[in-house]
Amino acid sequence: MSQSFEEISAQLKKRHRRSARMKWMTMGALILSAAFLVVFISDMVVRGWPAFQQAQLQVEVSYDEQSQKLPLAAVDEDVRPLISRGFFRSLPREMENNPELMGTTQTRWVIADSRVDQFLKGNEDRLRPADKETLQALVEDGRAALKFNTTFFTTGDSKMPELAGIASAAIGTVMTMLVTMAVCFPIGVMTAVYLEEFAPDNRLTQLIEININNLAAVPSILFGLLGLAIYISFFGVPRSSPLVGGLTLALMTLPVIIISTRAALRSVPDSIRHAAFGVGCSRWQVVRDHVLPVSLPGILTGSIIGLAQAMGETAPLIIVGMVAFIPDASISITDASTVMPAQIFTWASEPNSAFAEKTAGGILVLLAVLIFLNALAVWLRNKFERRW
């Protein structure tokens, strides 16, 4: 009737092999998913790294009457085509601001044209043969070099790749996020507090709950349609402004904050509430003095994750027009503005290949910010997580 261990083990060999195969296959799925992250990040780093470098040339700039009128005359004719047009444009203003420069000749590093930049980075060669010779001579003299690209972090968008930067997009992102959080943090927390602590268990409450869960799964682009139809067409909020973008993202982030705040409130054990009721606190006092302080880390964690999500969102902002070309950011929530992901989108659709590295560079900056935010949230959660 019964078999010996040896017999059973012999029968089991094949089944164990199948079991092991399943283990390896599922492990493979995990490893491949993780490998993708590695491929992805390294691809972005390889593409984006050059964006943090910029070709500069050491040239003699003569500040005189002529170059004030005709900035191109400030440098030698043969290096002229190698220098960024943006430099010449800024020259008259520089001279106005620094009158003591007048009549002098300075040897200084100036930003090179993007063709030079791309050539020095070994990407593509669109220089004329004569210019290339000049450039090679400069390189041999050590007067042309790739230096750290501060322009990328200090300027806004530009049609000249060598002058394009993410500063105005970053400012736009900050303004938009301020609007978003100012709207959705209080409303989200209040909603969650109401649903968890005050709401009677009736049809309306259930409707609100179902509604919030559904709202969390509505495609983000539909929030863009809402923003366009209600905020812009109906209320007349200025298009492309951080105000409309922020309000749109606020509605999108609201369910994230509500759901995580509710989870945080729910994790506070009832014994704490009962203890507070027991010493004569009213419901509001219980919430304000006992429940909210204890659940604050959880609420903050959820809000940071919501913030990170909103910060990376692009689709609804395209619909409300936040993909504008913004060379100079203005610190006002009603002026046209752009945000970092939208800037990345704009650069990605530029035909000039010099913008490809800007795209990847922008992605690296954005990812760095988002990973920092997520890490902060994880750290907060681990530090303050309490098991009751």
Q: Which is nearer to other proteins, 36 or 148 (CB)?
A: 36
* Distance in Å, CB of 128 to other proteins, minimum: 28
**Among residues 144 and 305, whose Cβ is nearest to other proteins?**
305
List of E strands, the chain: 53-62, 105-111, 144-148
Answer for the pair 179, 243: CB distance below 8 angstroms, yes or no: yes
Q: Which stretch binds other proteins (CB under 8 A): 74-82, 113-121, 163-171, 189-197?
A: 189-197
Report 281-340 residues binding other proteins (CB under 8 A).
282-284, 305, 308-309, 311-315, 318-319, 323
Least Å from the CB of residue 137 to other proteins: 35
Minimum CB distance to other proteins smaller for 83 or for 184: 184
**In a 3-state reduction of DSSP, which class is residue 29?**
helix
Nearest distance, CB of residue 240 and other proteins, angstroms = 12
Site for other proteins contains 354 (CB under 8 A)? no
**Could you give the CA distance from residue 359 to residue 332 in angstroms, rounded to a whole number?**
26
DSSP state string for 99-133: GGGTT-EEEEEEEBPHHHHHHHTTS-----HHHHH
From the centroid of its chain, how far is CA 345? Answer: 11
Tell me the three-class secondary structure of 177-206, residue by residue: HHHHHHHHHHHHHHHHHHHHHHCCCCHHHH
Residues 53-92 that bind other proteins (CB under 8 A): none
372 binds other proteins (CB under 8 A): no
CB of 102 to other proteins, least distance (A): 42
CB atoms within 10 A of CB 225: 14
Residue 379 interacting with other proteins (CB under 8 A): no
The burial of 367, by beta-carbon neighbours within 10 Å (0-12 exposed, 13-18 middle, 19 or more buried), is given as middle
Which of the residues 192 through 251 are near other proteins (CB under 8 A)? 193-195, 198-199, 207-208, 210-215, 217-226, 228-230, 233-236, 251
Give the one residue of 70, 130, 275, 371 binding other proteins; rule: CB under 8 A. 371
Query: Shortest Cβ distance from residue 126 to other proteins (Å)?
Result: 20
Question: Which secondary structure element, helix H or strand E, spans residue 255, and what is its range?
Answer: helix 242-266
Contacts of other proteins in 7-46 (CB under 8 A): 8-9, 11-12, 15-16, 18-23, 25-30, 32-34, 36-37, 40, 43-44
Q: Based on CB atoms, which residue is closest to other proteins, 71 or 321? A: 321
Q: Which stretch binds other proteins (CB under 8 A): 96-104, 115-123, 170-178, 341-349?
A: 341-349
The answer to whether 381 and 298 have CB atoms below 8 angstroms apart is yes
Of 116-124, 168-176, 261-269, 357-365, which part binds other proteins (CB under 8 A)?
A: 357-365
Distance CA 273, CA 358 (A): 54
Sign (positive or negative) of CA dihedral 12, 13, 14, 20: positive
CB of 75 to other proteins, least distance (A): 36
Site residues (CB under 8 A) for other proteins, limited to 114-173: none
Order of all β-strands in the sheet with 144-148: 105-111, 53-62, 144-148
Query: Is 279 a binder of other proteins (CB under 8 A)?
Result: no
